[in-house]
Amino acid sequence: MQQLNIDLGTRSYPIVIGEDVLADRKLLARLLPHTNLLVVTNDTVARLHLPELIRGLGDRTAAVHTLPDGEEFKNHATLNSVFDALVSARLHRDGAIVALGGGVVGDIGGFAAACYQRGIAYLQVPTTLLAQVDSAVGGKTGINHAAGKNLIGAFHQPIGVLSDITTLRTLPPRELRAGLAEVIKYGLIEDLHFLEWIERSLEKLLTFEPAALEHAIRRSCEIKARIVATDEREQGARALLNLGHTFGHAIEAAGEYRTWLHGEAVAIGLLMAVSMSARLGWLVSSDVQRVKSLLERAGLPTSAPGLDAGRVLELMQLDKKIKNGHLRLVLLPRLGAASVSMDFDPAQLRDTLQEFLER
Protein backbone atom coordinates (compact mmCIF):
# COMPACT_ATOMS: atom_id res chain seq x y z
CA MET A 1 0.00 0.00 0.00
CA GLN A 2 1.26 3.48 -0.90
CA GLN A 3 -0.06 6.88 0.07
CA LEU A 4 0.50 10.37 -1.26
CA ASN A 5 -1.35 13.58 -0.52
CA ILE A 6 -3.04 16.42 -2.34
CA ASP A 7 -1.81 19.50 -0.48
CA LEU A 8 -4.69 21.99 -0.37
CA GLY A 9 -4.51 23.31 3.16
CA THR A 10 -7.71 22.50 5.05
CA ARG A 11 -8.98 20.60 1.98
CA SER A 12 -5.94 18.32 1.75
CA TYR A 13 -6.60 14.60 1.41
CA PRO A 14 -4.79 11.29 0.90
CA ILE A 15 -4.61 9.08 -2.18
CA VAL A 16 -4.14 5.45 -1.14
CA ILE A 17 -2.98 2.96 -3.80
CA GLY A 18 -2.71 -0.78 -3.18
CA GLU A 19 -3.94 -4.30 -3.78
CA ASP A 20 -6.97 -5.82 -2.02
CA VAL A 21 -7.68 -2.68 0.01
CA LEU A 22 -11.36 -2.29 -0.85
CA ALA A 23 -12.53 -4.38 2.10
CA ASP A 24 -9.95 -3.05 4.59
CA ARG A 25 -12.09 -1.94 7.55
CA LYS A 26 -9.33 -0.07 9.38
CA LEU A 27 -8.34 1.83 6.25
CA LEU A 28 -11.93 2.73 5.38
CA ALA A 29 -12.59 3.83 8.94
CA ARG A 30 -9.59 6.18 8.71
CA LEU A 31 -10.48 7.58 5.29
CA LEU A 32 -14.23 7.70 5.91
CA PRO A 33 -15.25 8.32 9.54
CA HIS A 34 -18.87 9.09 8.63
CA THR A 35 -21.62 6.74 9.77
CA ASN A 36 -24.46 7.58 7.36
CA LEU A 37 -23.51 6.84 3.78
CA LEU A 38 -24.86 6.60 0.25
CA VAL A 39 -22.83 4.41 -2.07
CA VAL A 40 -23.19 5.61 -5.67
CA THR A 41 -22.14 3.01 -8.21
CA ASN A 42 -23.35 1.48 -11.48
CA ASP A 43 -24.89 -1.87 -12.36
CA THR A 44 -21.65 -3.44 -13.60
CA VAL A 45 -19.42 -2.27 -10.76
CA ALA A 46 -22.03 -3.16 -8.12
CA ARG A 47 -22.01 -6.77 -9.27
CA LEU A 48 -18.21 -6.96 -9.26
CA HIS A 49 -17.06 -4.91 -6.29
CA LEU A 50 -19.92 -3.71 -4.08
CA PRO A 51 -19.87 -6.76 -1.73
CA GLU A 52 -16.20 -6.11 -0.89
CA LEU A 53 -16.88 -2.45 -0.15
CA ILE A 54 -19.87 -3.28 2.05
CA ARG A 55 -17.65 -5.66 4.06
CA GLY A 56 -15.10 -2.89 4.44
CA LEU A 57 -17.75 -0.47 5.72
CA GLY A 58 -18.66 -2.90 8.49
CA ASP A 59 -21.82 -2.19 10.47
CA ARG A 60 -22.27 1.36 9.24
CA THR A 61 -25.53 2.37 7.59
CA ALA A 62 -24.98 2.43 3.82
CA ALA A 63 -27.75 2.91 1.29
CA VAL A 64 -26.87 2.02 -2.31
CA HIS A 65 -27.88 3.80 -5.50
CA THR A 66 -26.94 2.31 -8.86
CA LEU A 67 -26.63 4.33 -12.05
CA PRO A 68 -26.92 3.11 -15.63
CA ASP A 69 -23.51 2.37 -17.12
CA GLY A 70 -22.15 4.71 -19.81
CA GLU A 71 -20.99 8.23 -20.63
CA GLU A 72 -24.33 8.95 -22.33
CA PHE A 73 -25.99 8.80 -18.89
CA LYS A 74 -23.78 11.52 -17.39
CA ASN A 75 -26.65 14.01 -17.45
CA HIS A 76 -29.27 15.91 -15.45
CA ALA A 77 -31.67 12.98 -15.21
CA THR A 78 -29.03 10.71 -13.67
CA LEU A 79 -27.84 13.45 -11.31
CA ASN A 80 -31.42 14.03 -10.13
CA SER A 81 -31.77 10.33 -9.39
CA VAL A 82 -28.83 10.66 -6.96
CA PHE A 83 -30.51 13.61 -5.25
CA ASP A 84 -33.67 11.51 -4.89
CA ALA A 85 -31.62 8.70 -3.34
CA LEU A 86 -29.95 11.12 -0.90
CA VAL A 87 -33.33 12.42 0.23
CA SER A 88 -34.77 8.90 0.53
CA ALA A 89 -31.78 7.83 2.62
CA ARG A 90 -32.29 10.91 4.85
CA LEU A 91 -28.65 11.89 4.66
CA HIS A 92 -27.77 15.09 6.44
CA ARG A 93 -24.67 17.26 6.30
CA ASP A 94 -22.80 14.82 8.50
CA GLY A 95 -23.33 12.04 5.94
CA ALA A 96 -21.17 11.21 2.95
CA ILE A 97 -21.28 9.79 -0.55
CA VAL A 98 -18.99 6.94 -1.56
CA ALA A 99 -18.43 7.01 -5.34
CA LEU A 100 -17.58 3.44 -6.36
CA GLY A 101 -16.86 3.18 -10.08
CA GLY A 102 -15.24 4.88 -13.04
CA GLY A 103 -15.16 8.47 -14.16
CA VAL A 104 -18.90 8.84 -14.76
CA VAL A 105 -19.78 7.57 -11.28
CA GLY A 106 -17.08 9.71 -9.68
CA ASP A 107 -18.06 12.87 -11.53
CA ILE A 108 -21.79 12.49 -10.84
CA GLY A 109 -21.32 11.34 -7.25
CA GLY A 110 -18.95 14.23 -6.59
CA PHE A 111 -21.25 16.78 -8.21
CA ALA A 112 -24.20 15.51 -6.17
CA ALA A 113 -22.04 15.85 -3.03
CA ALA A 114 -21.11 19.41 -4.04
CA CYS A 115 -24.77 20.41 -4.40
CA TYR A 116 -26.68 18.41 -1.80
CA GLN A 117 -27.41 20.55 1.28
CA ARG A 118 -24.84 22.96 -0.20
CA GLY A 119 -22.05 20.44 0.11
CA ILE A 120 -21.38 17.14 1.87
CA ALA A 121 -18.32 14.90 2.02
CA TYR A 122 -17.53 12.20 -0.51
CA LEU A 123 -14.91 9.50 -0.93
CA GLN A 124 -13.65 8.53 -4.37
CA VAL A 125 -13.22 4.77 -4.87
CA PRO A 126 -12.20 4.57 -8.55
CA THR A 127 -12.35 1.16 -10.23
CA THR A 128 -10.98 2.02 -13.69
CA LEU A 129 -7.43 2.95 -14.62
CA LEU A 130 -8.60 6.23 -16.13
CA ALA A 131 -10.36 7.23 -12.92
CA GLN A 132 -7.46 6.10 -10.70
CA VAL A 133 -4.91 8.21 -12.58
CA ASP A 134 -7.07 11.20 -13.45
CA SER A 135 -10.77 11.84 -12.90
CA ALA A 136 -10.94 10.76 -9.23
CA VAL A 137 -8.10 13.12 -8.29
CA GLY A 138 -8.38 16.89 -8.15
CA GLY A 139 -11.99 17.68 -7.27
CA LYS A 140 -13.47 18.27 -10.70
CA THR A 141 -17.09 17.10 -10.72
CA GLY A 142 -19.87 17.53 -13.24
CA ILE A 143 -22.17 16.32 -15.96
CA ASN A 144 -22.27 16.66 -19.72
CA HIS A 145 -24.48 18.86 -21.87
CA ALA A 146 -25.53 18.06 -25.42
CA ALA A 147 -23.31 20.95 -26.53
CA GLY A 148 -20.19 19.77 -24.73
CA LYS A 149 -18.55 17.59 -22.11
CA ASN A 150 -18.45 18.63 -18.43
CA LEU A 151 -20.03 22.01 -19.13
CA ILE A 152 -22.02 21.85 -15.88
CA GLY A 153 -20.17 21.13 -12.66
CA ALA A 154 -18.26 22.32 -9.63
CA PHE A 155 -14.89 22.06 -7.95
CA HIS A 156 -15.49 19.94 -4.85
CA GLN A 157 -12.57 18.06 -3.33
CA PRO A 158 -13.11 14.54 -1.96
CA ILE A 159 -12.01 13.58 1.55
CA GLY A 160 -9.85 10.85 0.06
CA VAL A 161 -9.17 8.58 -2.91
CA LEU A 162 -8.93 4.82 -2.47
CA SER A 163 -7.48 3.08 -5.53
CA ASP A 164 -7.59 -0.71 -5.35
CA ILE A 165 -5.42 -2.04 -8.17
CA THR A 166 -7.13 -5.43 -7.89
CA THR A 167 -10.33 -3.94 -9.36
CA LEU A 168 -8.51 -3.28 -12.62
CA ARG A 169 -8.38 -7.01 -13.36
CA THR A 170 -12.12 -6.95 -14.02
CA LEU A 171 -11.80 -4.24 -16.68
CA PRO A 172 -12.50 -5.11 -20.31
CA PRO A 173 -9.26 -4.64 -22.32
CA ARG A 174 -10.76 -1.65 -24.11
CA GLU A 175 -11.30 0.16 -20.78
CA LEU A 176 -7.76 -0.55 -19.63
CA ARG A 177 -6.34 0.81 -22.89
CA ALA A 178 -8.49 3.92 -22.58
CA GLY A 179 -6.94 4.58 -19.17
CA LEU A 180 -3.45 4.29 -20.62
CA ALA A 181 -4.15 7.36 -22.76
CA GLU A 182 -4.24 9.48 -19.60
CA VAL A 183 -1.06 7.82 -18.29
CA ILE A 184 0.73 8.66 -21.54
CA LYS A 185 -0.56 12.23 -21.23
CA TYR A 186 1.33 12.73 -17.96
CA GLY A 187 4.62 11.73 -19.55
CA LEU A 188 4.01 14.09 -22.45
CA ILE A 189 3.18 17.14 -20.35
CA GLU A 190 5.86 16.92 -17.68
CA ASP A 191 8.08 13.87 -17.40
CA LEU A 192 10.02 12.54 -20.39
CA HIS A 193 11.63 9.85 -18.20
CA PHE A 194 8.14 8.62 -17.28
CA LEU A 195 7.19 8.58 -20.97
CA GLU A 196 10.27 6.47 -21.69
CA TRP A 197 9.30 4.12 -18.84
CA ILE A 198 5.82 3.74 -20.35
CA GLU A 199 7.36 2.87 -23.71
CA ARG A 200 9.50 0.16 -22.04
CA SER A 201 6.76 -1.12 -19.72
CA LEU A 202 3.73 -1.07 -21.98
CA GLU A 203 3.40 -4.85 -22.25
CA LYS A 204 3.48 -5.17 -18.46
CA LEU A 205 0.74 -2.58 -18.17
CA LEU A 206 -1.40 -4.29 -20.80
CA THR A 207 -1.08 -7.61 -18.96
CA PHE A 208 -2.06 -6.14 -15.57
CA GLU A 209 1.31 -6.56 -13.85
CA PRO A 210 0.62 -5.10 -10.37
CA ALA A 211 4.02 -3.44 -9.83
CA ALA A 212 3.86 -1.70 -13.21
CA LEU A 213 0.28 -0.55 -12.66
CA GLU A 214 1.07 0.71 -9.18
CA HIS A 215 4.01 2.75 -10.48
CA ALA A 216 1.96 4.16 -13.37
CA ILE A 217 -0.86 5.17 -11.03
CA ARG A 218 1.42 6.66 -8.40
CA ARG A 219 3.54 8.69 -10.83
CA SER A 220 0.44 9.96 -12.65
CA CYS A 221 -1.13 11.00 -9.34
CA GLU A 222 2.12 12.63 -8.18
CA ILE A 223 2.17 14.83 -11.27
CA LYS A 224 -1.50 15.71 -10.97
CA ALA A 225 -1.26 16.31 -7.21
CA ARG A 226 1.59 18.77 -7.66
CA ILE A 227 -0.22 20.72 -10.38
CA VAL A 228 -3.58 20.77 -8.56
CA ALA A 229 -1.88 21.99 -5.36
CA THR A 230 -0.56 25.03 -7.25
CA ASP A 231 -3.76 25.76 -9.21
CA GLU A 232 -6.85 24.14 -7.69
CA ARG A 233 -9.42 25.92 -9.88
CA GLU A 234 -7.59 25.86 -13.20
CA GLN A 235 -6.64 29.51 -13.49
CA GLY A 236 -3.19 28.69 -14.84
CA ALA A 237 -0.97 25.60 -14.73
CA ARG A 238 -3.80 23.10 -14.20
CA ALA A 239 -4.90 23.67 -17.78
CA LEU A 240 -1.81 21.69 -18.84
CA LEU A 241 -3.57 18.55 -17.60
CA ASN A 242 -5.96 19.01 -20.51
CA LEU A 243 -3.43 18.10 -23.20
CA GLY A 244 -5.47 16.45 -25.96
CA HIS A 245 -8.74 17.13 -24.17
CA THR A 246 -9.92 20.14 -26.17
CA PHE A 247 -9.80 17.96 -29.27
CA GLY A 248 -10.95 14.85 -27.40
CA HIS A 249 -13.97 16.37 -25.68
CA ALA A 250 -15.22 17.75 -29.01
CA ILE A 251 -14.78 14.31 -30.61
CA GLU A 252 -16.79 12.73 -27.78
CA ALA A 253 -19.57 15.28 -28.14
CA ALA A 254 -19.64 14.90 -31.93
CA GLY A 255 -20.16 11.16 -31.37
CA GLU A 256 -22.94 11.90 -28.86
CA TYR A 257 -20.87 10.19 -26.14
CA ARG A 258 -21.60 6.79 -27.68
CA THR A 259 -18.86 6.26 -30.26
CA TRP A 260 -15.65 6.77 -28.28
CA LEU A 261 -14.63 6.10 -24.71
CA HIS A 262 -13.19 9.19 -23.06
CA GLY A 263 -9.65 7.79 -23.11
CA GLU A 264 -9.96 6.84 -26.76
CA ALA A 265 -11.02 10.37 -27.69
CA VAL A 266 -8.16 11.74 -25.58
CA ALA A 267 -5.71 9.46 -27.42
CA ILE A 268 -6.81 10.94 -30.74
CA GLY A 269 -6.61 14.40 -29.19
CA LEU A 270 -3.08 13.75 -27.91
CA LEU A 271 -1.85 12.92 -31.38
CA MET A 272 -3.67 15.94 -32.82
CA ALA A 273 -1.97 18.19 -30.24
CA VAL A 274 1.42 16.65 -31.06
CA SER A 275 0.78 17.11 -34.78
CA MET A 276 -0.33 20.71 -34.22
CA SER A 277 2.86 21.32 -32.24
CA ALA A 278 4.87 20.00 -35.19
CA ARG A 279 2.99 22.34 -37.54
CA LEU A 280 4.13 25.21 -35.33
CA GLY A 281 7.72 24.04 -35.67
CA TRP A 282 8.02 22.99 -32.02
CA LEU A 283 8.28 19.25 -32.62
CA VAL A 284 9.74 17.24 -35.49
CA SER A 285 8.10 14.50 -37.52
CA SER A 286 9.92 11.78 -35.58
CA ASP A 287 8.26 13.05 -32.36
CA VAL A 288 4.84 12.71 -33.99
CA GLN A 289 5.66 9.20 -35.17
CA ARG A 290 6.98 8.25 -31.74
CA VAL A 291 3.74 9.26 -30.01
CA LYS A 292 1.63 7.65 -32.71
CA SER A 293 3.56 4.40 -32.36
CA LEU A 294 3.10 4.35 -28.59
CA LEU A 295 -0.65 4.96 -28.87
CA GLU A 296 -0.98 2.26 -31.50
CA ARG A 297 1.00 -0.21 -29.39
CA ALA A 298 -1.42 0.55 -26.56
CA GLY A 299 -4.30 -0.38 -28.86
CA LEU A 300 -5.67 3.15 -28.95
CA PRO A 301 -7.22 4.95 -31.95
CA THR A 302 -5.20 7.70 -33.61
CA SER A 303 -7.87 9.22 -35.87
CA ALA A 304 -11.64 9.63 -36.03
CA PRO A 305 -12.48 9.35 -39.73
CA GLY A 306 -15.91 10.46 -40.82
CA LEU A 307 -16.39 13.32 -38.36
CA ASP A 308 -17.03 16.75 -39.81
CA ALA A 309 -14.10 19.08 -39.02
CA GLY A 310 -16.36 22.13 -38.98
CA ARG A 311 -18.67 20.56 -36.41
CA VAL A 312 -15.75 19.52 -34.19
CA LEU A 313 -14.29 23.04 -34.40
CA GLU A 314 -17.68 24.46 -33.40
CA LEU A 315 -17.73 22.18 -30.34
CA MET A 316 -14.17 23.18 -29.46
CA GLN A 317 -15.34 26.79 -29.20
CA LEU A 318 -17.16 25.79 -25.99
CA ASP A 319 -13.92 24.65 -24.35
CA LYS A 320 -13.38 25.96 -20.83
CA LYS A 321 -9.95 27.34 -21.77
CA ILE A 322 -11.52 29.95 -24.07
CA LYS A 323 -10.24 33.36 -22.98
CA ASN A 324 -11.57 36.66 -24.31
CA GLY A 325 -13.21 34.75 -27.13
CA HIS A 326 -9.96 33.09 -28.22
CA LEU A 327 -9.44 29.34 -28.30
CA ARG A 328 -6.37 28.22 -26.35
CA LEU A 329 -4.73 24.85 -26.90
CA VAL A 330 -2.38 22.84 -24.73
CA LEU A 331 0.59 22.11 -26.99
CA LEU A 332 4.13 20.76 -26.66
CA PRO A 333 7.24 22.89 -27.20
CA ARG A 334 9.02 19.56 -26.65
CA LEU A 335 8.10 16.08 -25.47
CA GLY A 336 7.85 16.19 -21.69
CA ALA A 337 6.95 19.90 -21.51
CA ALA A 338 3.56 21.47 -22.24
CA SER A 339 2.29 25.02 -22.55
CA VAL A 340 -1.01 26.75 -23.22
CA SER A 341 -1.00 28.72 -26.48
CA MET A 342 -3.35 30.71 -28.67
CA ASP A 343 -0.54 31.84 -30.93
CA PHE A 344 -1.35 29.72 -33.96
CA ASP A 345 -2.75 30.25 -37.42
CA PRO A 346 -6.40 29.10 -37.67
CA ALA A 347 -5.43 27.44 -40.93
CA GLN A 348 -3.03 25.19 -39.01
CA LEU A 349 -5.84 24.11 -36.71
CA ARG A 350 -8.15 23.50 -39.66
CA ASP A 351 -5.51 21.40 -41.41
CA THR A 352 -4.99 19.35 -38.24
CA LEU A 353 -8.72 18.69 -37.89
CA GLN A 354 -9.06 17.68 -41.52
CA GLU A 355 -6.05 15.33 -41.33
CA PHE A 356 -7.36 13.35 -38.38
CA LEU A 357 -11.10 13.56 -38.95
CA GLU A 358 -12.07 13.82 -42.59
CA ARG A 359 -9.31 12.01 -44.42
Among candidate residues 34, 49, 65, 140, the one labeled active-site is 140
Distance of alpha carbon 54 from alpha carbon 62, whole angstroms:
8
Cα of first residue to Cα of last residue in the chain, in angstroms, is 47
Our answer to whether residue 215 is catalytic in this structure is: no
Name the residue type at position 55: R
Among candidate residues 219, 245, 279, 292, the one labeled active-site is 245
Among candidate residues 262, 279, 292, 328, the one labeled active-site is 262
Among candidate residues 118, 258, 326, 359, the one labeled active-site is 118
Among candidate residues 156, 249, 292, 328, the one labeled active-site is 249
Among candidate residues 156, 224, 279, 328, the one labeled active-site is 224
Contacts of 332 (CB under 8 A, 6+ apart): 188, 189, 243, 273, 274, 277, 282, 283, 287, 338, 339
Distance of alpha carbon 184 from alpha carbon 189, whole angstroms:
9
Among candidate residues 234, 264, 279, 328, the one labeled active-site is 234
Name the helix (H) or strand (E) containing 187: helix 173-190
Among candidate residues 182, 190, 252, 264, the one labeled active-site is 182
96 φ, ψ to 5°?
Answer: -155, 155
DSSP secondary structure of 255-304: TTTTSS-HHHHHHHHHHHHHHHHHHTTSS-HHHHHHHHHHHHHTT-----
Our answer to whether residue 224 is catalytic in this structure is: yes
Our answer to whether residue 234 is catalytic in this structure is: yes
Our answer to whether residue 74 is catalytic in this structure is: no
CA atoms within 13 A on the CB side of 346: 8
Among candidate residues 234, 285, 287, 272, the one with its CA nearest the CA of residue 354: 272
Our answer to whether residue 219 is catalytic in this structure is: no
Our answer to whether residue 245 is catalytic in this structure is: yes
Among candidate residues 232, 242, 252, 264, the one labeled active-site is 242
Distance of alpha carbon 200 from alpha carbon 161, whole angstroms:
28
Distance of alpha carbon 174 from alpha carbon 279, whole angstroms:
31
Sign, Cα dihedral of 40, 82, 6, 319: positive
Our answer to whether residue 34 is catalytic in this structure is: no
DSSP secondary structure of 189-251: HH-HHHHHHHHHHHHHHHTT-HHHHHHHHHHHHHHHHHHHHH-TTSSSGGGGGGTTHHHHHHH
Among candidate residues 238, 279, 292, 328, the one labeled active-site is 238
Active site residues: 118, 140, 182, 224, 234, 238, 242, 245, 249, 262
